[in-house]
Structure 1
Amino acid sequence: MPFARQLPAYGDRLALITPDGELSYRELARRVAATADRLGPVRRLVLLAGANRTDALVTYLAALSAGHPVLLVPGDSESTIRSLTEAYAPDVVARPHADGTWDLDERHPESAHTLHPDLALLLSTSGSTGSPKLVRLSHDSLQANAESIATYLGIDETDRAATTLPMHYCYGLSVIHSHLLRGAGLVLTERSVSDAAFWEEFRAARGTSLAGVPYTFDLLDRVGFEHKRLPHLRRITQAGGRLAPERVARYAELGRGSGWELFVMYGQTEATARMAYLPPHLAAERPEAIGVPVPGGSFRLQPVDGHGPDVGELVYSGPNVMLGYAESPADLGLGRIVEELHTGDLARRASDGMYEIVGRRSRFAKILGLRIDPQQVETLLDARGVTAYCAGDGETLAVAALGNTGEEARIRRLVAQECGLPPRAIRVRVLSELPRLATGKPDYEAVRHLTCAEQEETTSTGEDLRSLFAEILDRTDVTEESSFVSLGGDSLCYVEMSLRLEEALGHLPANWHTRTIRELRPLASPTAERPEAQEWPAPTRRARSAPGLMRALRSWTAPRSWRTRRTLETGIALRAVGIVLIVGSHIQIFDIKGFAHILLGITGYNFARFQLTDAERRERVRHFWRSIARIAAPSMVWITGAVVLTDFYDPANAVLLNSLLSQGNDRFDWAYWFVEALVYYLVILAGLMALPLLDRLERQYAFGVPLALMAVGLVGRYDLLGLASARPQLSPSVVFWLFALGWAAARAATVPQRALLTAVLLLTVPGLFQDQPLRTALVITGLGLLIWVPTLPSIGPLSALAGVLASSSLYIYLTHYQVYPYLQEDFPLTALFASLVLGVGYAAVVTRAARTIRWL
């Protein structure tokens, strides 16, 4: 190994800083050479009990420099050492005695195995389970990955990295390799970052680098890392599992302010350590990405059935790819049988070249930085008389076991001891019968849900929150850290989501759309009545019809549903009532006008809630365009049909340009002014928010920006520039101030701010509708409710019906013009009902089509 053999070249540079003193490269090289002499020139398999101690590191480097393959195992897991010693019969076992002295147990003077010339290192694929399946790594792989990491991190001889991760873990080992390669120093410690003594050692050593898995960052938060004074810190690296994007962004910003950089990295043992890294200048802007391939490596996406063309299995190629797996001593003589690494991760490549992980194909799970094989855990439990199914979800290990009540603690303790996981990361449920699929195979998805039951009260509805979010938003990447807005939810699916969530939780928490699923779970009401959940199982995605329609009908017949008291968001109530009054007024059943302008304010209100999220700028803009597509595409399809089949509309209507091109005064030409205005506003705002300066201003002045736009909109309201059309109250330039007012209402957080908006409302609405005082009063009242009253009292079936109408309101508005003219004179009530039903049906068609072709 070049980096192991070149240690003497760095002379008196500081190599190791340990609790027992310092060691120069010259002294380290001397000790490595002495141990290499003892191992001898004949290649033998060395099993090494890894530890962040000088003796362990010296033995490791001695074996590599002399060409002896190393089987590196956790030094603190006696069962793993024993099981791998039995499985592979190593020629030398290097481990400490009980008194701390180091011992080389030379069992064979020559190797009992055929060892391939390229074989350098064997690492476990599944944490501390003692699985005999090992990764075979070559000398070239270790050297290439160390050079790659040292290059993109910019490591030099002045760096000093703390060994915050265990040596037997490929990530922790890569820290050692990359720093020794460049003649940098290692702060060799076994202390945790949660230990105050660690920080004393790190400061005294003038440490420059820290490495951590997601759990390390949990510990950093607990010890108040952001307040620590670390003047020599240059970089923090993160790998070993997904760190929530919001935490990536937060640490990236913390680093910018403190003078260090955050490197988010992606890797697997099978690639020696690293395959990708996120350049630190993008960490705050693209925290959801894994970044770009490491120097010398490359990715490709292999298509996977059931996923779109932009998603595939991530396949990596590079000199650091393993030779292959070993499952027995006979495999140690094999050469390279793997040319590229199929990671098992589903990914996509974004337009900026960054790769993003969107899911997993295999059962392996990386939990708190450890790669766990649930099948191996099942085997271990079976050997101890426990029949179980195990599944990992990236954060915890779920175990469903046959047994008696009260055995959960014993099983959790067994798993923790064998896997090296803390008990808090293991969920256990004892059952009388294990869940199986119809085929008789284990139902691992049921295992995950069953083990959540005791910890997550909200699953008593029979519908887990992750499944609920995945169903309604049609997403496969829902995690505990997901929220409605982070998953791209908007006003078109917000209604159904709010009603379903209220059923699941028993009430609707404030600001639920911005809260993560993890935050929502504890908010479930244990005494809430949920009659629907007991009577009706949650439908599959394929069984869904119009958004919320079947659930509304079910709730009318569900036992006690009339007694189920609920609340209904004011915006939803106004959308539902508004669409009925708009259609009814057009049919001339009654004459109550003004709700279209109220709905315009509500669209601004929802724009602020669902478009202007905490996501980074590019993701925001992508969300804008998806929402524009969801409105414009079905509108243009329907209106084009109306233009072709009737004589009521000008072709400008079909492309949503009537407000700009037509100055006529025909009633039907202006039928779709609302849709046109909404699309214009969203397109213009998408362009503005794509500018970094405006994006920053909006984030900094959340209430001030819509207030300023409302002031600009008032110029159009009074047509000071002469831009109004023949129907001024329907002109986009005239009514934009109502959209901005709704936006500001969503951002108003104090009584004075709401009072200011109310004053603007009272002063500016009068005069918009000439000689129509009722219409004026209705608009003021509706938008006043939106500003001041977040929810209204309701009952189960009323909320369900309102949900159907509100979620379909856009489509009812689109389609009713092609229904009521043929029925209004003879059957006005039938015309109203038919208009509503057709709109709900079109909503179902659009929803199904969007999910089928994935245009959104």
Structure 2
Amino acid sequence: MNLSDQLSITAKSYPKKAAYVFQDKETSYMELEGSVRKLASRLEQLGYKKGDHVALIAGNSPYYVIGLYGALRLGLVVIPINPLYTAHEMTYILKNGDVKAVITMDVLLEKFEAIADQLPEVNHYISCESGAQLNFEEHHLSVKLKSFTRLVEEGSIEFNAPKLEDEDLAIILYTSGTTGKPKGAMLSHKNLYSNAKDVADYLTINGEDRVIAALPMFHVFCLTVALNAPLMNGGTVLIMPKFSPQEVFRIADELQATVFAGVPTMYNYLLYSVKENKDDFKTIRLCISGGAAMPVALLREFEKAFEVQLSEGYGLSEAAPVTCFNPLDRPRKPGSIGTSIVNVENKVVDEYGEEVEIGEVGELIVRGPNVMQGYYKMPEETEVALKEGWLYTGDMARMDDEGYFYIVDRKKDMIIVGGYNVYPREVEEVLYAHPNVTEAAVVGVPDPGTGEAVMSYAVVDDPSVTEENLIEFCKGQLVKYKVPSIIEFLDELPKNTTGKILRRNLREKAVQ
């Protein structure tokens, strides 16, 4: 089974049910299925065949949903790319990913004009109309230009799809490239389908659910949890072009949303708008957090303010992405990423790959049908990440005696102060517990005496709070070597498009 076939099954079961809502307009499952078939048929007529690579560079919209499922229906390999990337960043991925067609927004065409000469293998640029009234004739790409809308209109509903095998490559997800060049995680149809199904089952996402998709769809968190999982069981996806706290509250209220998925930064923004909007979340039964560690103080405050359960989970692109979630049928543990979801194994090991004792810190490794096939054209990196069927995540974690896992920190982010290990998250949790700290991030900086020292960046809501205040606060809860020696205040912390704090940028800033 695969996502494409599952969509066909769902469309037959719930033909008139809303598959998604975009800008307050509903599209039924049968309408979505028809568009997917038509797009796949026209792509085939243009010469594309099973195994060819196509880039999908669009924001949250019906274009993205139809483009993704239409390409998968034909057996194409989809490479989602952040539309905010620079031309330079896109060029690397398009060349490394052997892309033959690009599905993108018309407002991005100028960006591709600048790099088209470097991409001779790209046969078509399929343009999604934004309403900007652009003149295609002005583009020297016009010979390769196709209209997405026209392709769908001209396609055949009678399209006969090729047979897709479980192990056929479906998506290549390029990592954010925090070190070196981005790596393309190869995910098969089995990887994607199994994780969407297991997440839907674990979180009881069903046909009655209306899931807000505010996270960017090019990111695997949104792709699996807020798009593929609800479509698996006949749920409705409430598509937001971009995150806005007020728009989240409006959609939740007017469209009676039941599930919201976001990163901690989003929950922070929502919490600060709670006074005027608390009742708008009355139909929400579950909030899901991932993408970065959720500070315990934020989790507790959010649940108290909105009277809704917030379940934190864990995943990574290489695992399609989810491996753990806090279960809904037994107590949730604040600060934990939960237990292994069905069909996925997690364990904590030492540097030799041996499982450590309960409560001890080691590297989290993962095994299951969701684990990637490897990195595209990077055999050496693949050998480092995949060993004897296990994916080595690079995250430091511990497991308690009830099977709940706790992420301590990224392996590479660990700070060593005079021989002692300091995990930034532990210090950040203390800072978040301060009533005036709204955001915090901790990095290691060179120190001639101890090798490294702990430095923190913080955002506060009271200008009278001083560095000395926060250091004294930390001293009351942390051993001396873990206490930040420097705290710098910022108006906001740098983040990527999914809201994850860019610790690398802060580390570079600290040593300038």
TM-score category, normalised to shorter length? 0.5 to 0.7
Pairwise CA distance, 1:330: 12
Q: Does the CA contact (< 8 Å) of 1:347 and 1:357 recur in 2?
A: yes
**Following superposition of structure 1 onto structure 2, how do residues 146-225 of structure 1 map, counting pairs within 5 Å?**
146-174=196-224, 175-194=226-245, 196-224=246-274
Q: Does the CA contact (< 8 Å) of 2:19 and 2:27 recur in 1?
A: yes
Tell me the SS of whatever aligns to 2:92. helix
- Aligned residue for 2:77? 69
**Following superposition of structure 1 onto structure 2, how do residues 4-15 of structure 1 map, counting pairs within 5 Å?**
4-7=4-7, 8-9=11-12, 10-15=14-19
Tell me the SS of whatever aligns to 1:362. helix
CA 1:198 to 1:243, structure 2 compared with 1: closer, same or farther past 3 Å?
A: closer
Pairwise CA distance, 1:35: 1.1
**Which amino acid in 1 is paired with 2:56?**
L
**Which amino acid in 1 is paired with 2:347?**
R
CA distance in 2, matches of 1:479, 1:242: 20
Establish whether residue 21 from structure 1 lines up as the match of residue 30 from structure 2: no
CA 1:38 to 1:242, structure 2 compared with 1: closer, same or farther past 3 Å?
A: same
Q: Does the CA contact (< 8 Å) of 1:121 and 1:138 recur in 2?
A: yes
Structure (1 or 2) with the greater strand fraction: 2
Q: Deviations over 1:581-607 (max 9, x none)?
A: xxxxxxxxxxxxxxxxxxxxxxxxxxx
Which of 102, 105, 116 is the matching residue for 1:96? 105
**Following superposition of structure 1 onto structure 2, how do residues 489-504 of structure 1 map, counting pairs within 5 Å?**
none
CA distance in 2, matches of 1:254, 1:279: 21
CA distance in 2, matches of 1:97, 1:188: 20
- Aligned residue for 2:55? 47
Tell me the SS of whatever aligns to 1:229. helix
- Aligned residue for 1:246? 297
Which of 306, 313, 318 is the matching residue for 1:270? 318
- Aligned residue for 2:404? 354
Gap runs ≥5 in structure 2:
110-126, 130-140, 146-164, 416-422, 428-438, 490-512
Tell me the SS of whatever aligns to 2:240. coil
Structure (1 or 2) with the greater helix fraction: 1
Establish whether residue 290 from structure 1 lines up as the match of residue 337 from structure 2: yes
Q: Does the CA contact (< 8 Å) of 1:84 and 1:130 recur in 2?
A: no
CA distance in 1, matches of 2:336, 2:6: 36
CA distance in 1, matches of 2:204, 2:238: 18
**Following superposition of structure 1 onto structure 2, how do residues 118-517 of structure 1 map, counting pairs within 5 Å?**
118-126=168-176, 131-174=181-224, 175-194=226-245, 196-224=246-274, 227-254=278-305, 258=307, 260-280=308-328, 286-304=333-351, 309=357, 310-311=359-360, 312-326=362-376, 339-363=389-413, 445=452, 449=455, 458=467, 471-472=479-480
Pairwise CA distance, 1:78: 3.2
**Which amino acid in 2 is paired with 1:102?**
C
- Aligned residue for 2:66? 58
Pairwise CA distance, 1:186: 0.6
Q: Deviations over 1:693-745 (max 9, x none)?
A: xxxxxxxxxxxxxxxxxxxxxxxxxxxxxxxxxxxxxxxxxxxxxxxxxxxxx
Tell me the SS of whatever aligns to 1:22. strand
CA 1:117 to 1:143, structure 2 compared with 1: closer, same or farther past 3 Å?
A: closer
Gap runs ≥5 in structure 1:
109-114, 366-391, 397-423, 481-503, 506-516, 520-856
**Which amino acid in 1 is paired with 2:21?**
I
Pairwise CA distance, 1:331: 10
CA distance in 2, matches of 1:122, 1:298: 23
Q: Deviations over 1:778-809 (max 9, x none)?
A: xxxxxxxxxxxxxxxxxxxxxxxxxxxxxxxx
CA distance in 1, matches of 2:66, 2:199: 22
CA 1:275 to 1:143, structure 2 compared with 1: closer, same or farther past 3 Å?
A: same
Tell me the SS of whatever aligns to 1:270. helix
Which of 31, 34, 39 is the matching residue for 2:35? 31
**Which amino acid in 2 is paired with 1:157?**
G
Which of 67, 85, 94 is the matching residue for 1:85? 94
CA distance in 1, matches of 2:319, 2:182: 19
Q: Deviations over 1:114-150 (max 9, x none)?
A: x996211111222699943121111111011001100
Q: Does the CA contact (< 8 Å) of 1:252 and 1:283 recur in 2?
A: no
CA distance in 2, matches of 1:361, 1:130: 17
Pairwise CA distance, 1:81: 2.4
CA distance in 2, matches of 1:34, 1:156: 27
Pairwise CA distance, 1:42: 3.7
Q: Does the CA contact (< 8 Å) of 2:349 and 2:356 recur in 1?
A: no
CA distance in 2, matches of 1:24, 1:184: 11
**Which amino acid in 2 is paired with 1:133?**
K
Q: Deviations over 1:168-207 (max 9, x none)?
A: 111111120101111111111113242x244323322221
Tell me the SS of whatever aligns to 1:61. helix
CA distance in 2, matches of 1:270, 1:322: 5
CA distance in 2, matches of 1:254, 1:457: 28
CA distance in 2, matches of 1:215, 1:291: 20
Q: Does the CA contact (< 8 Å) of 1:161 and 1:187 recur in 2?
A: yes
Tell me the SS of whatever aligns to 1:206. coil
CA distance in 2, matches of 1:348, 1:321: 21
Where relative contact order (Cα < 8 A, 6+ residues apart) is larger, the structure is 2
CA distance in 2, matches of 1:130, 1:74: 18
**Following superposition of structure 1 onto structure 2, how do residues 560-579 of structure 1 map, counting pairs within 5 Å?**
none
CA distance in 2, matches of 1:106, 1:4: 31
CA 1:89 to 1:298, structure 2 compared with 1: closer, same or farther past 3 Å?
A: closer
CA distance in 2, matches of 1:134, 1:106: 30
CA distance in 2, matches of 1:321, 1:151: 18
CA distance in 2, matches of 1:171, 1:479: 33
**Which amino acid in 1 is paired with 2:30?**
R
Pairwise CA distance, 1:250: 3.5
CA 1:117 to 1:46, structure 2 compared with 1: closer, same or farther past 3 Å?
A: farther
- Aligned residue for 1:728? none
Pairwise CA distance, 1:394: 6.3
Q: Does the CA contact (< 8 Å) of 1:277 and 1:293 recur in 2?
A: yes
Pairwise CA distance, 1:50: 3.7
**Which amino acid in 1 is paired with 2:340?**
P
CA distance in 2, matches of 1:362, 1:471: 22
Pairwise CA distance, 1:435: 5.3
Q: Deviations over 1:471-529 (max 9, x none)?
A: 44x8xxx698xxxxxxxxxxxxxxxxxxxxxxx89xxxxxxxxxxx999xxxxxxxxxx
**Which amino acid in 1 is paired with 2:314?**
Y
- Aligned residue for 2:508? none
Aligned residues: 404
CA distance in 1, matches of 2:390, 2:443: 37
Pairwise CA distance, 1:344: 2.0
What is the alpha-carbon root mean square deviation over aligned residues? 4.6
CA distance in 1, matches of 2:189, 2:469: 54
Tell me the SS of whatever aligns to 1:6. helix
Q: Does the CA contact (< 8 Å) of 1:252 and 1:280 recur in 2?
A: no
Pairwise CA distance, 1:16: 1.1
Tell me the SS of whatever aligns to 1:178. helix
CA distance in 2, matches of 1:73, 1:32: 20
CA 1:125 to 1:191, structure 2 compared with 1: closer, same or farther past 3 Å?
A: closer
- TM-score scaled by structure 2? 0.67
Q: Does the CA contact (< 8 Å) of 2:60 and 2:241 recur in 1?
A: yes
